[in-house]
Chains A and B, each alone.
Chain A
Amino acid sequence: MKALVVDDQANVRLLLSHILRTRNGCTVSVAANGREALALLVRESFDIVVLDLLMPVLDGVETLTVIRRTPALSQTPVIVLSAVRDERKVRQLLRLGIAAYLTKPLRPLDVAERIQQILDRLGDAPAVADDGPAERALAARADLRPQMIAATEQLFGLMLGIEVGAAGTREPLTSGDDVASAVLRLEREAVDLEFAITAPRAMSERMTAQYLQAGDVVTDADVSATLREFATIIGGRLQTALRQRGDVVSLGEPTVSRLGAEACERAGGIRVTYTSSAHDLRFMTTLRAVPGARLARTVQDADRRIEDPAHVHAATPATAG
């Protein structure tokens, strides 16, 4: 693996290079600012870039913007490592597309571990069956998997202060789970993509309670609003990634529903389970391809379920009462 470290501070470059070389087995090049980095990136191919934010000449956001707009570099994983803790800045980075956001001062062993997780993920082969146009459309976009994982992990850390990580297990979808989905309409294809975050009811309430901070009343509307916001943000990140690939894509209005008997119909797609041992959380994100016509019906169904509470109870006998 070839890594590029971009930081204006010589001691940070030295320490990061040492970690990447000795702990992660990378061959490392360094650059002191964004301009130097871009000059190297157009000459050589790198598997991963570790980027500082505040730098002279060309800062981290400007550099990342150029990287994402350059077709040959747009898919290069970029880890941002910075002492900046500005939420707006982090959101801007998430929209541009980053593999991780790590804070300074450097905790070298943590950095080595996170970088190793990301490098391992790069080598993951997604399990997508190639048995139909929808599956083929999804398989062609299997590289979205690490971006879906990174966006989800970062969002939980950023908005809820909960560290979650993708787990190796695949959980079945269960009747009664809350599911927030956002449709990514692929304009040039007969297939659309659907991103969904699926959470057991108890977890939805717990994470919303944390979001609203202890003591606030948690209602179904709050749970829905949080999940919908999550689906919008992660869906937006996937939309950006798709556009960088050259897809013409628009993000539909997210919907929230509760899984009923159709739970088993939603099997398939790129499915990732997340856990947080500290908070005993377990939830899932999925990205699946759906024929456009069927998807439209699915969205309408979900809308109807939200607007009609009686329908929710009718569809989810497991959670009634």
Chain B
Amino acid sequence: MYTPPPQPPPVDPEVIEMLASLQEPGEPDLVAELVTLFLRDTPERLRDLQARPLDAGHASRVAHAVKGSAGNLGATQLQDLASALEQAGHRGDSADALARLADAIDVEFAHVAAHLEALLAKRAHGAE
């Protein structure tokens, strides 16, 4: 029976581990704080990408911000898609091309968010 190759997780576990290694005893959970801020701020940015037609300059600026914050948490695929939209905006690609990338970012963010929410729940459970 054919088994599809396993998909890489939407968030690189090594990046999360590295961030966890920065934790100082007695301080708030750094990973949980970073993830919470990412889950709080990113949907607002993605709403800015829902306008149609999408303005290239605006899309580029929003995508730049998403690229940075996704990269910091190891959400590599989301980071790559945001980087592609940023470049497409710089090149002045068609509104259709920008919209396709914006849609792909939305879909990938849903994967990342689900993964990170599970991670938050696990960390909260582990802390109990």
Residues of A within 8 A of B (CB): 8-12, 14-15, 18-19, 22-23, 54, 83-84, 104-106, 108-109
Q: Give the docked Cα–Cα distance between A18 and B27 (Å).
A: 10
Q: Is the CB–CB distance between B71 and A14 below 8 Å?
A: no
Q: Categorize the interface residue count of chain B.
A: 20 to 34
A11 with B69: in contact, given A54-B64, A83-B64, A105-B79 (CB under 8 Å)? yes
> What is the chain B residue whose CB lies nearest that of A53?
B64
Q: Is B24 an interface residue (CB 8 A)?
A: yes
A9 with B34: in contact, given A54-B61, A108-B18 (CB under 8 Å)? no
- Contact with B41, one of A9, A83, A84, A104 (Cβ below 8 angstroms): A9
**A-B complex: 5 closest residue pairs judged by Cβ atoms:** A105-B71, A11-B37, A10-B37, A83-B68, A104-B68
Contact residues of B between 36 and 50, Cβ < 8 Å to A: 37-38, 40-41
Q: Is the CB–CB distance between B22 and A104 below 8 Å?
A: no
Q: Is the CB–CB distance between A18 and B69 below 8 Å?
A: no
Q: Give the docked Cα–Cα distance between A104 and B64 (Å).
A: 11
Instruction: Write out the residue numbers on chain B whose beta carbons fall within 8 Å of the beta carbon of A11.
Output: 34, 37-38, 41, 69, 72-73
- Contact with B30, one of A18, A84, A106, A109 (Cβ below 8 angstroms): A18
* CB of A167, distance to nearest CB on chain B (Å): 29
Instruction: Write out the residue numbers on chain B whose beta carbons fall within 8 Å of the beta carbon of A12.
Output: 68-69, 72
Q: Is the CB–CB distance between A108 and B71 below 8 Å?
A: no
Instruction: Write out the residue numbers on chain B whose beta carbons fall within 8 Å of the beta carbon of A18.
Output: 22, 30
Pull 5 A–B residue pairs with CB atoms less than 8 Å apart, ordered by A.
A11-B73, A54-B65, A104-B72, A105-B72, A106-B72
> What is the chain A residue whose CB lies nearest that of B74?
A105
* CB of B16, distance to nearest CB on chain A (Å): 12
Instruction: Write out the residue numbers on chain B whose beta carbons fall within 8 Å of the beta carbon of A22.
Output: 22, 24
* CB of A285, distance to nearest CB on chain B (Å): 33
Q: Is the CB–CB distance between B22 and A108 below 8 Å?
A: yes
* CB of A105, distance to nearest CB on chain B (Å): 3
* CB of B78, distance to nearest CB on chain A (Å): 11
Residues of B within 8 A of A (CB): 18-19, 22, 24, 30, 33-34, 37-38, 40-41, 61, 64-65, 67-69, 71-73, 79
Q: Is the CB–CB distance between B37 and A14 below 8 Å?
A: yes
> What is the chain B residue whose CB lies nearest that of A55?
B65
Q: Is the CB–CB distance between A83 and B37 below 8 Å?
A: no
Instruction: Write out the residue numbers on chain B whose beta carbons fall within 8 Å of the beta carbon of A104.
Output: 68, 71-72
- Contact with B71, one of A8, A19, A54, A83 (Cβ below 8 angstroms): A83
Instruction: Write out the residue numbers on chain B whose beta carbons fall within 8 Å of the beta carbon of A10.
Output: 37, 40-41
Known pairs A11-B73, A54-B65, A108-B22. 17 more at Cβ < 8 A? A9-B41, A9-B65, A10-B37, A10-B41, A14-B33, A14-B34, A14-B37, A15-B34, A15-B72, A18-B30, A19-B22, A54-B61, A84-B64, A104-B72, A105-B71, A106-B71, A109-B18
* CB of B49, distance to nearest CB on chain A (Å): 16
* CB of A97, distance to nearest CB on chain B (Å): 24
* CB of A13, distance to nearest CB on chain B (Å): 9
Q: Give the docked Cα–Cα distance between A10 and B44 (Å).
A: 13
* CB of A85, distance to nearest CB on chain B (Å): 10
> What is the chain B residue whose CB lies nearest that of A108?
B22
Q: Give the docked Cα–Cα distance between A54 and B18 (Å).
A: 26
> What is the chain A residue whose CB lies nearest that of B33?
A14
Q: Is the CB–CB distance between A83 and B67 below 8 Å?
A: yes
Q: Give the docked Cα–Cα distance between A18 and B32 (Å).
A: 13
Instruction: Write out the residue numbers on chain A whose beta carbons fall within 8 Å of the beta carbon of B73.
Output: 11
Instruction: Write out the residue numbers on chain B whose beta carbons fall within 8 Å of the beta carbon of A83.
Output: 64, 67-68, 71
Q: Is the CB–CB distance between A8 and B18 below 8 Å?
A: no
> What is the chain A residue whose CB lies nearest that of B75?
A105
> What is the chain B residue whose CB lies nearest that of A86?
B90
Instruction: Write out the residue numbers on chain A whose beta carbons fall within 8 Å of the beta carbon of B65.
Output: 8-9, 54
